[in-house]
């Protein structure tokens, strides 16, 4: 009897410890920082597949999108921020909030499927955005672009999804060099960052996008390999992103794995520890 009592007491204490640990972790993730692992190449070469970072949720204040998402497809768990904080989803205001600045690297909740996306903020409310022959125009003025060499990577499966890079130098075999032209783009507020070019794509020439009030326009730095605000939500794109869907700002890569798992420490890239993001 005493053994059973002791086991029950141990089990209760263990469950209490797990409960409080999960509660503290949930509060930390909701209010301060959210872990994010880069799954695709849409932000190369600023962000690489396998980069692990923490998203600063304090940067822009809080909305329903600040609540955590828990997705574990292996066991059928798919809970989004709207499942936890759907009561606040209709409000476009942010608690203790401020709007992101042009050039910020922002994590936001996809307006349709609720997945977390990471892109660079290009267009603010009221801006006119257009691509003409691969050149970005903001309010009818072309941004400054300078050549910055070549981005080179090896043609091989990348990350847990085994994504193969797209190459400007044509179809190359496994193990060969895959190259893209690199440019430095400077936005009107002076923020400079790298962009990549793969080739002529329909998204290199667009109509004019006029950003509505309370919404934002995002693009990936890997311009020819990014599903972003240039593509309408009806076409599985991002479209304009409302203020309420913003999660936070990405400031720094903590570490980066070139393998299929972030836990494979022997594949971590030595040059990306605590790397600041431009």
Does residue 20 lie in a domain region?
no
DSSP-assigned beta bridge partners for residue 186: 144, 192
The answer as to whether 213 is a domain residue is: yes
Give, for 218, the enclosing helix (H) or strand (E): strand 215-219
Contact 61/94 with Cβ under 8 angstroms?
Answer: yes
CB 50 within 8 A of CB 41: no
Q: Active-site residues: which are they?
A: 42, 119
Helix (H, G, I), strand (E, B) or coil at 196: strand
Report how far residue 191's alpha carbon sits from residue 104's, in angstroms, rounded to the nearest whole number: 9
- What pLDDT is stored for residue 164 in this prediction? 94
Domain that holds residue 214: 32-276
| Angstrom distance (rounded) from CA 180 to CA 167 | 6
pLDDT digits (tens, 9 = 90+) for 39-91: 999 999 999 999 999 999 999 998 888 887 776 666 667 777 777 687 778 88
Per-residue burial over 170-208, b = 16 or more CB atoms within 10 Å of its CB, e = otherwise: eeeeeeeebbbbbbebebeeeeebbbbbbeeeebbeeee
Which residue has better confidence, 10 or 34? 34
Per the domain annotation, does 69 fall within a domain?
yes
d(CA 10, CA 95): 41
- Number of helices (H), then strands (E), in the chain: 2, 17
**What's residue 240's pLDDT?**
96
Counted domains in the chain: 1
Query: Is 68:30 a contact under the CB 8 Å cutoff?
Result: yes
Classify residue 77: in a domain, yes or no. yes
Read off the tokens for 227.
């599903």
Please, which pLDDT band fits residue 248 given cuts at 50, 70 and 90?
Answer: very high
**Measured between alpha carbons, how far is 8 from 54 in angstroms, rounded to an integer?**
38
Phi/psi zone of residue 6: left (φ > 0), alpha (ψ -120 to 50 degrees), beta? alpha
Contacts of 222 (CB under 8 A, 6+ apart): 41, 42, 43, 44, 45, 180, 195, 196, 198
Average pLDDT of the residues in 28-35: 66
User: Helix (H, G, I), strand (E, B), or coil: what is residue 84?
Assistant: helix
Q: What is the CATH number of the domain that holds 232?
A: 2.10.109.10
Mean pLDDT value across the chain: 88
pTM for the structure as a whole:
0.86
Query: pLDDT band at 93, cuts 50/70/90?
Result: confident
Please report whether residue 22 resides in a domain: no
Cis before residue 45, ω within 30 degrees of 0? yes
The pLDDT of residue 10 is 64
Q: What is the rounded distance in angstroms from the CA atom of residue 259 to the CA atom of residue 263?
A: 9
Three-class DSSP category at 232: coil
Question: pLDDT (tens digit, 9 = 90+) per residue, 149-185?
Answer: 999 999 999 999 999 999 999 889 999 999 999 999 9
The verdict on residue 15 lying in a domain is no
Task: Let me know if residue 144 belongs to a domain.
Answer: yes
pLDDT at 30 over 60: no
pLDDT given at position 6: 64
Beta-bridged to residue 116, according to DSSP, are 109
Within-domain flag for 44:
yes
H runs (alpha helix) in the chain: 2-31, 81-85
Query: Which residues lie closer than 8 Å to 244 by C-beta, 6 or more apart?
Result: 63, 64, 65, 89, 91, 92, 93, 94
Instruction: Tell me the pLDDT band of 22, cut-offs 50, 70 and 90.
Output: low
**pLDDT 10s digits, 183-242:** 999 999 999 999 999 999 999 999 999 999 999 999 999 999 999 999 988 777 899 999
Residue 21 has pLDDT above 60, yes or no: no
pLDDT tens track for 109-155: 998 888 899 999 999 999 999 999 999 999 999 999 999 999 999 99
Nearest CA to 120 out of 100, 105, 107, 135 is that of 105
């Amino acid at each position: 009897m005493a053994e059973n009592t002791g086991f029950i007491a141990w089990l209760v204490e263990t469950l209490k410890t797990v409960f409080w640990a999960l509660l503290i972790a949930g509060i930390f993730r909701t209010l301060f920082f959210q872990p994010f692992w880069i799954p695709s190449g849409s932000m190369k070469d600023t962000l690489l597949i396998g980069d692990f970072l923490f998203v600063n949720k304090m940067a822009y204040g809080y909305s329903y999108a600040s609540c955590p998402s828990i997705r574990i497809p292996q066991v059928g768990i798919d809970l989004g921020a709207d499942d936890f904080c759907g009561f606040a989803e209709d409000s476009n205001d942010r608690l203790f909030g401020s709007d992101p600045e042009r050039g910020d690297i922002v994590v936001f909740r996809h307006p349709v499927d609720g997945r977390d996306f990471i892109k660079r903020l290009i267009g603010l409310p009221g801006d006119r955005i257009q691509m003409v022959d691969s050149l970005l125009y903001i309010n009818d003025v072309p941004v400054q672009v300078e050549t910055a060499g070549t981005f080179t990577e090896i043609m091989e499966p990348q990350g847990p999804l085994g994504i193969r890079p797209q190459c400007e130098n044509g179809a190359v075999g496994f193990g060969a060099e895959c190259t893209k032209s690199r440019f430095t783009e400077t936005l009107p507020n002076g923020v400079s960052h790298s962009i990549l070019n793969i080739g002529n794509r329909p998204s290199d020439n667009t109509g004019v996008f006029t950003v509505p009030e309370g919404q934002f326009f995002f693009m990936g730095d890997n311009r020819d390999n990014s599903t972003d605000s240039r593509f309408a939500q009806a076409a599985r794109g991002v479209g304009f992103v409302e203020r309420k869907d913003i999660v936070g700002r990405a400031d720094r890569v903590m570490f980066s794995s070139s393998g299929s798992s972030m836990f494979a420490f022997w594949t971590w890239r030595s040059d990306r520890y605590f790397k600041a993001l431009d």
